Amino acid sequence: MSESFFSPDWPGIAELTPRLRPHLKLHRQVYRNRVWHIVEDEVTGRHHRLDALAYELASRLDGQTSINALWEQLLDQLGEKAPSQHDIIQLIGGLHQADLIQATMTPDSEELFYRREKRNRQQRQSLVNPFAFKARLFNPTRLLDWLEPLTGWAFHGVSALLLALLVIPAGVLALQHWPEIQATAAARLPSGRFWMLVWFVYPLVKLCHELGHALAVRHWGGQVQEIGVSLLALMPVPYVNASAANLFPQKHARMIVSAAGILVEVAFSAIAFLVWLNVSDGLARDLAFVVMTISGLSTVLFNANPLIRFDGYHFLADWLEIPDLARRSTRYWIALAKRFLLQTPRASDLDLAPGEAKWLAIYGPASWLYRWLILAVIVAWMAKISRALAIAVALYFLFILLIRPAWRIARYLWASRELSNRRLRALATVTVGLLAATAAVALLPAPFATLTQGVVRAPDESRVRATADGFVTEVLVEQGAAVEPGQALVRLRNDLLHTRQRQLEARLAATDIRLQAARQDDPARARQLEKERASVRSELDRLREQTGDLVIRASIPGRLFIPRLSDLPGRFLHKGDTLGYVLGESALRLRAAIPQADAEKLARYPGQITFRTEQRPARQARLLSVRPAGSNRLPSPALAARNGGAFLTDPGDEKALKTLNPVFIVDLAAPELTVDHIGNRVWLRFDHGRKPLLQQWAIRWEQLLLKHFSGQA
C-alpha cells in the first residue's frame, strides 16, 4: 500500500467506539443500480444522504467496535476498493458534524472534528449576516391540513393540461412582444418605484412558491414541519423545509416536488404577462410587470437554473439519478487533481456509477462560471443604487468564490499531511500550472474587436424625391441610365392643380377686362381691381411653380436606380416620397450606432473595419466620420430591438428611434453595395488588433466602472 493510504492523524480516532444516535431511521434508495441510504433524524426532521461507503461504515457503528477494527473489517471485505485512513477520518468527521453519532471524544479526536458548539456559533452568527440569515418561524402542519384538499386537483392531469393551455399561448405572445418587454425592463428596472413594488410583492410570490413545494410533499405522504424566512440579496424570502421528499422512493414524485414551486411561478408569470399586455399604464400594469419579472426572471436565473442549488438543481439531480451532484462534482475534480497533478491516487474518490463521470465533469465548472456571471449581474445592479454597496458586495463574493478557495488550496499544499512525501512535487506542479495560465492570459495575444449593427443608406443628395403630390404618368429615363443635374426623370399628373390653374387663369383674364373698363369710368374701383389682380397673379405663379414640380428632376450627376420601376406608372406619390436614387461617385454608405461604452475603443485602438450582409462574405469598409457627442437617437428604426436590431428603445416611442442608452453615430464608406441593400441591416466588426486577454478584461472593467460608477456618491 502507498504511504498516502495511511494518515498520521489515525491514532487520534483509532480507538474511538462511536455509535449511531437512537432517534435515527434509515431509508434505502437505488440510483443507477447503486444503493444509497438516507438517514432521517426524527427529532430535528433533517435528512442526510449516505453513499455505499459511508453506509458500510455507519451501519457498523455499534458503540463497542473501535474505528480501527471497523477499518480492518472493510479492508478484508473491500480489498483494493477499501477506503484509506484519510477517507475514514473524513467520514467519521462528517457523521459527527451532522450529529448522527455519539462517542466519548479524546482531546486528539476533538481536534479533528468540527464540534457542535462551533456549528451552533456559526448558526447564531448567521442571524446577523444579511447573506446567510435564516430563521425558523413555525410548524405549518395545521395550515397544510387546511389546504390539503387543494392537492387532489392541483396535481391532477387536468391541472397540468390547463397549465399548458395557459403557459404555451402566453409564451408565444411573449416571444412576439419580447423587444417591448426588453425595453420596458430597461426603462423600469432602474426606477425606485419598481424596486419598492418588488420589495412588497416578492415575499408574497415566494410564499406561494414555497406552499407549492409543501403541498406537493403532502400529496405524496410526506410531512413539512418547518416554515421560516431567509434573506436573498437583502430581501426577505419565505422557505419551507421540504427535505421529506428525499425519502420518496418514486423518482417522479421527488422531481415534481422540486418543480412545484417553479410551476406556481410560471403560472403567475403567464397570468401577469396577459394582464400587462391588455391593461393601460398605471399601478395595475406596473404590478403585473413586477410579478412577471419576479416569476419569470428569478425563475430562469435562480429557481429553475440547475447551476445553483435551488429547485432546478434538485430536479436535475433526481432526473440524472446523481445524488449530491454539486458536492460530488467538486470531489470529482479534487480527486482528478490529486490523481493526475499531485500523484496521490485514491481509489475510493473516483468509484463512480456508469454514466456519472461526464455529468460530474461538466457540472462543477459550469456552476462555478455561472456564479461569477450572477456576481457580475448583482454588482452591476447594485452599482446603480450605491457605489459603496456594490463594492462591498463584490468584495464579499470575491472572498467566497476566489480568495477562500485559493486559501484552502494553498493551506492544503503547504500543510496537508497527505502530501508529506510529495510536497515539493505538488508545489512545483501547481506553481508551474499557475505561471503557465497567467502567462497565457497576460501575454498571448487574442482577437480584440467590437461588433455592432448598422444600416445601408444612400447620401441625402442622391435621393430622388417627389416634388409635388400626383400620379405618375411617365418615366422619362431608363433604369441605370446616366443623368445630369436638372434632367427630367418622372412626370406626374395632378388634376386638381391643373383645374385650379385653369380657374385662376380664367379669373385673371376676367379681372383684366374689368380693370380695363374701370380705369376709364371708376378710378377707385380700378385701384381695388389692381390689388385683386396682383393677388390672383401671385397665386397663379405659385400654382405654375407647383405644376412645374410635377416633373421630377435629377439633382446630381450619376446613374438612376428606381426600385420596382415597372410598377411606378399610375402610382400616387406624396410630396417628399423617395422614388429612387441617383448614385454618382459617392458610393452607398453605412451608418452604425456604437454603444457609448465601446465608442472610446474606436479612437484608442483603430484598425480594419469589415461588414457583412446576408449571404455575402465580409468586405472592408472605410471610416468617414464619428459624431463627437453621444445621442439617444438611432439612425434607422431597423436597428431597434423591436424590429430585430440590437438596441433597446423607449417603449413610448412609436418610431422606435429613441434609445434607452446613449450611442455614437458612425458613418462609413462601403463599396460593392447596390441599391437593393439600402435600408438593410448589416453587422460591422471594428478590429482593434490582437491583445492579451488580461488587457482586454482590464479595458472592459474600466468601461464598466465608467458606466456604473460615474457620478455616483
Round the average pLDDT of the chain to a whole number and report it. 80
Residues 237 and 299 in one domain: yes
Whole-angstrom Cα distance, residue 712 to residue 380? 13
Does the residue 454 lie in any domain? no
- Does the pLDDT of residue 42 top 80, yes or no? no
Tell which wins on pLDDT, 570 or 382: 570
Does the residue 448 lie in any domain? no
Confidence at residue 712, expressed as pLDDT on a 0 to 100 scale: 43
Residues 525 and 591 in one domain: no
Evaluate whether 47 touches 39 at the Cβ level (below 8 Å): yes
Stretch 615-628: mean pLDDT, rounded? 78
Residues 92 and 157 in one domain: no
Residues 317 and 203 in one domain: yes
Whole-angstrom Cα distance, residue 663 to residue 404? 40
Confidence at residue 630, expressed as pLDDT on a 0 to 100 scale: 75
Residues 381 and 496 in one domain: no
Stretch 311-332: mean pLDDT, rounded? 90
Confidence at residue 522, expressed as pLDDT on a 0 to 100 scale: 75
Q: Which tens digit of pLDDT belongs to each residue from 693-712? A: 888 888 877 776 666 555 44
**Beta pairing class for 47-50 and 34-41:** antiparallel
Residues 626 and 481 in one domain: no
- Does the pLDDT of residue 111 top 70, yes or no? no
Residue 579 pLDDT class (50, 70, 90 cuts): confident
Evaluate whether 687 touches 623 at the Cβ level (below 8 Å): no
- Does the pLDDT of residue 117 top 50, yes or no? no
Q: What is the 3-state secondary structure (H, E, C) of 664-675?
A: EEEEEECCCCCH
Report how far apart, in Å, the C-alpha atoms of 147 and of each of 142, 152, 160, 572 are.
9, 10, 19, 68
Confidence at residue 319, expressed as pLDDT on a 0 to 100 scale: 92
Residues 188 and 309 in one domain: yes
Residues 153 and 298 in one domain: yes
Residues 356 and 481 in one domain: no
Q: Which tens digit of pLDDT belongs to each residue from 139-148? A: 888 888 888 8
Residues 316 and 327 in one domain: no
- In terms of Cβ atoms closer than 10 Å to its own Cβ (0-12, 13-18, 19+), residue 28 is exposed
Does the residue 168 lie in any domain? yes
pTM of the model: 0.69
Does the residue 456 lie in any domain? no
Confidence at residue 494, expressed as pLDDT on a 0 to 100 scale: 79
Confidence at residue 384, expressed as pLDDT on a 0 to 100 scale: 64
- Domain extent for 697: 586-709
Confidence at residue 264, expressed as pLDDT on a 0 to 100 scale: 93
Closest CA to 335 of 349, 351, 352, 356: 349
Residue 634 pLDDT class (50, 70, 90 cuts): confident
Does the residue 511 lie in any domain? yes
Residues 310 and 178 in one domain: yes
Does the residue 455 lie in any domain? no
Q: Which tens digit of pLDDT belongs to each residue from 172-222? A: 999 888 888 887 887 787 777 888 898 889 989 999 999 999 999 998 888
Q: Which of the listed residues 543, 562, 580 is the one where a domain comes to its end?
A: 580
Confidence at residue 704, expressed as pLDDT on a 0 to 100 scale: 66
Q: Which of the listed residues 526, 545, 580 is the one where a domain comes to its end?
A: 580
Does the residue 476 lie in any domain? yes
In the chain the first and final C-alpha atoms are separated, in Å, by 63
- Does the pLDDT of residue 123 top 50, yes or no? no
Confidence at residue 652, expressed as pLDDT on a 0 to 100 scale: 75
Q: Which of the listed residues 80, 105, 124 is the one where a domain comes to its end?
A: 124
Domain total of the chain: 5
Hey, what's the cell of 441? 492570459
Does the residue 683 lie in any domain? yes
User: What DSSP assignment string belongs to 21-67?
Assistant: -TTEEEEEEEETTEEEEEEEETTT--EEEE-HHHHHHHTT-BSSS-H
- Does the pLDDT of residue 98 top 50, yes or no? yes
Residues 564 and 647 in one domain: no
- Does the pLDDT of residue 414 top 80, yes or no? yes
Max mean pLDDT among 33-47, 152-166, 230-244, 471-485 falls in 152-166
Closest CA to 295 of 279, 314, 272: 272
Confidence at residue 349, expressed as pLDDT on a 0 to 100 scale: 55
